[in-house]
């Protein structure tokens, strides 16, 4: 007979059990330490309300700590005839301690046990993502300052538009990460509430001290209504997935930029040969495979909120086995996000920028707006200045004489500071300190 917490003396057929359990045993291994943490808090609470005595609490705690050693050593396994991590831990305690091991489940349903494990796990994952984002943010900030004077063509509609700079480009992604951090913090706030004690969604006749378990587990507050706690299935995952999707969109767009910018047709940036790949037939190729995989992985992460919404919707309140499948969506997404953040940082640390892009006269038309503005400041009405420059461009005789109207070394010698852009967030005022303060506030969770 299989070992399940819900077993009442009848056995599921093997085909039914295999289908319903799926790969939960493998996914559940990630939750083992969290399950033990939640169980230790639960039994301390049971002792405080008289459902365990002091000696029983001590024995059960030591038993759980013994199991935790195997979890940390990587030797802990969910046995083939055991349904899940929760059943495995209770089984191991019962084997070691007899009927005392079974007392660990008093006042608790597997529903709130799973919810608590998931929240503890997601809380830890979000903290890890937070640090990875901060590390990447610092690198963007550093490179923003390092390359702030180097001009870069700006595009709209895929067409040459106006002068940008590497500082402006890199700084944009630093600030985007700060906005993503705000969403990560919102997800953390939703996750960081205690469902333990909600049981199957309708509470318990035991006088459970939910404030105590909230404090022991470091949650900000309990989820007060026991039904609301169970409504968290899908909602917690959706909150985390939505925050990951925002972050994935930032990384995806930066990867797309890098893929384009390192094309020989543009040659704006360069990466060492050892982090590019070649072709089996074309010896000249240096392919941006890392950026393409980041772009593709982030697209997979972007799909997660929709998958979770479709899986979680149209269900009445209360637990449904459908929720088990949420782990198959979110856990791989978290892995992909960790990988993408680390690889983006690794590649960004190898970035080389082209400081001679504007030696090419192709980019002179980027300065039409600069010339229009120069003429306006000199007294020409805007529409007239716009018309004059437009005619010069159409007739192929537009020439940018520099911000002061003095023909110098040409656009190839220009730096970002030469253009006298001074307003907040412009080429000459990148607001790196303000963006740093924004990130510091967003990451304060």
Q: What is the 3-state secondary structure (H, E, C) of 255-316?
A: HHHHHHHCCCCCCCEECCHHHCECCCCCCCCCECHHHHHHHHHHHHHHCHHHHHHHHHCCCC
CATH code of 14-106, in short, is 1.10.275.10
Per-residue pLDDT of the chain (445 residues; tens, 9 = 90+): 455 554 555 566 777 766 666 676 677 889 999 999 999 999 999 999 999 999 999 999 999 999 999 999 999 988 888 878 888 999 999 999 999 999 999 999 988 999 999 999 999 999 999 999 999 999 999 999 999 999 999 999 999 999 999 999 999 999 999 999 999 999 999 999 999 999 988 999 999 999 999 999 999 999 999 999 998 889 999 999 999 999 999 999 999 999 999 999 999 999 998 887 755 566 566 888 999 999 999 999 999 999 999 989 888 888 888 888 899 999 999 999 999 999 999 999 999 999 999 999 899 999 999 999 999 999 999 999 999 999 999 999 998 887 776 655 578 889 999 998 999 999 999 999 999 999 999 999 9
Query: Which H or E element spans position 156?
Result: strand 151-156
Domain boundary assignment for the chain? 14-106, 111-355
- Residue 189: what pLDDT? 97
- Residue 285: what pLDDT? 62
Using only the alpha carbons of the chain, give its radius of gyration.
29
- Residue 274: what pLDDT? 85
CA 166 – CA 353 distance, rounded (Å):
8
- Residue 373: what pLDDT? 92
| CATH class assigned to 111-355 | mainly alpha
- Residue 6: what pLDDT? 46
Task: Let me know how long the chain is.
Answer: 445
């Amino acid at each position: 007979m299989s070992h399940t917490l819900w077993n009442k003396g009848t056995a599921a057929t093997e085909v039914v059990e295999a289908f319903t359990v799926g790969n939960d045993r493998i996914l559940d291994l990630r939750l083992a330490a969290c399950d033990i943490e939640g169980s230790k808090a639960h039994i301390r609470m049971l002792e405080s309300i008289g459902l365990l005595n002091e000696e029983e609490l001590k024995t059960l705690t030591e038993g759980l700590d013994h199991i935790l050693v195997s979890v940390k050593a990587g030797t802990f396994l969910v046995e083939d005839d055991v349904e899940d991590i929760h059943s495995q831990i209770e089984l191991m305690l019962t084997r070691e301690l007899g009927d005392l091991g079974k007392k660990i489940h008093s006042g608790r349903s597997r529903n709130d046990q799973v919810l608590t494990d998931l929240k503890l796990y997601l809380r830890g994952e979000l903290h890890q993502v937070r640090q990875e984002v901060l590390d990447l943010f610092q690198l963007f900030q550093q490179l923003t300052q390092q390359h702030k004077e180097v001009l870069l063509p700006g595009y709209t509609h895929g067409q040459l538009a106006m002068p940008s700079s590497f500082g402006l480009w890199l700084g944009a992604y630093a600030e985007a990460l700060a906005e993503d951090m705000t969403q990560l913090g919102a997800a953390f706030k939703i996750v960081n509430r205690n469902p333990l004690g909600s049981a199957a969604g309708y509470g318990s006749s035991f006088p459970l001290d939910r404030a105590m378990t909230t404090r022991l587990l470091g949650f900000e507050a309990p989820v007060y209504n026991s039904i609301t706690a169970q409504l968290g299935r899908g909602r917690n995952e959706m909150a985390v997935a939505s925050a990951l999707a925002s972050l994935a969109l930032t990384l995806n767009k930066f990867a797309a930029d890098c893929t384009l910018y390192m094309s020989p047709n543009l040659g704006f940036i360069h990466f060492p040969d050892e982090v590019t790949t070649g072709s089996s037939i074309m010896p000249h190729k240096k392919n941006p495979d890392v950026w393409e995989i980041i772009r593709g992985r982030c697209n997979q992460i972007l799909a997660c909120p929709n998958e979770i919404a479709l899986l979680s919707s149209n269900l009445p309140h209360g637990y449904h086995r459908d929720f088990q499948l949420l782990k198959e969506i979110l856990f791989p997404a978290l892995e992909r996000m960790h990988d993408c953040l680390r690889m983006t940082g690794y590649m960004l640390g190898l970035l080389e920028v082209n400081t001679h892009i504007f030696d090419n006269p192709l980019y002179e038309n980027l300065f039409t707006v600069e010339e229009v503005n120069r003429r306006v400041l000199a007294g020409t009405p805007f529409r007239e200045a716009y018309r004059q420059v437009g005619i010069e461009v159409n007739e192929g005789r537009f020439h940018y004489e520099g911000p002061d109207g003095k023909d110098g070394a040409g656009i190839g010698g220009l730096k970002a500071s030469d253009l006298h852009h001074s307003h907040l967030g412009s080429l000459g005022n990148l607001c790196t300190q303000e963006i740093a303060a924004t990130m510091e506030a967003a990451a304060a969770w």
